[in-house]
Amino acid sequence: MSDVIEKIITRRSVKAFTDEMPTEEQLEAILKAGTYAPTGMNRQAPIMIAVTNKEVRDKLSAMNARIMGMEGKIDPFYGAPVVIIVLADKSVNTRVYDGSLVMANLMLAAHDLGLGSCWIHRAKEEFETDEGKALLADLGITGEYEGIGHCIVGHIKGDYPAEKPRKENYVYYIK
């Protein structure tokens, strides 16, 4: 089995992180992998925002918890010190698929570097709010973007999640 296929098969969603920040080199490698995700007609509709600032990270966490009706009760980012927001240009009809492939590359790259990651939803709802739009404006990001997801990244706290069985009838063949 190739190393790539092994990484795909062994990657798990991690939901417990230490406070330790990934290195700059690790983060750069993960983001670079995201830029190489396939996109429809190579339009490269997605953008990524790497959030390592704890204040902004906590603000995003609070927004996300509010959207899920759990404000002040949980951290939807499971303590991860890095949140990579993936958004995509609303004018591109393949934006959700393109952004999803970016998310997959980010998570696989994190796994390859020995870090944990997890896809956290509700980015779409976050960046439809005035607060989300203001955050983009503060960063100088203009245009119409749809939130695709948050890729949380960090050092794994505790044991790596065990493999879960694959469902029956996952694959069908036509020969």
pLDDT, tens digit (0-9, with 9 covering 90-100), for 95-149: 999 999 999 999 999 999 999 999 999 999 999 999 999 999 999 999 999 999 9
Confidence (pLDDT) at 1: 83
> For the chain, what is the mean pLDDT?
97
Question: What six digits make up the tokens of 80?
Answer: 């991860």
What residues are paired with 50 via a beta bridge?
A: 84
Query: What mean pLDDT is predicted for residues 84-90?
Result: 98
131 contact partners, CB below 8 Å, separation of at least 6: 63
Query: What mean pLDDT is predicted for residues 15-26?
Result: 98
Model confidence at 80: pLDDT above 90 = yes
Number of Cβ within 10 Å of residue 158's Cβ equals: 11
Query: What mean pLDDT is predicted for residues 39-43?
Result: 97
**Full-prediction pTM beyond 0.85?**
yes
- Helices 54-67, 130-138: axis angle to 10 degrees equals 160
Could you name the CATH architecture of 3-154?
A: 3-Layer(aba) Sandwich (3.40)
Strand order in the sheet with 145-154: 46-51, 82-89, 145-154, 116-120
Confidence (pLDDT) at 152: 98
Confidence (pLDDT) at 126: 97
Model confidence at 88: pLDDT above 90 = yes
Q: Helix, strand, or coil here: 124?
A: helix
Confidence (pLDDT) at 169: 96
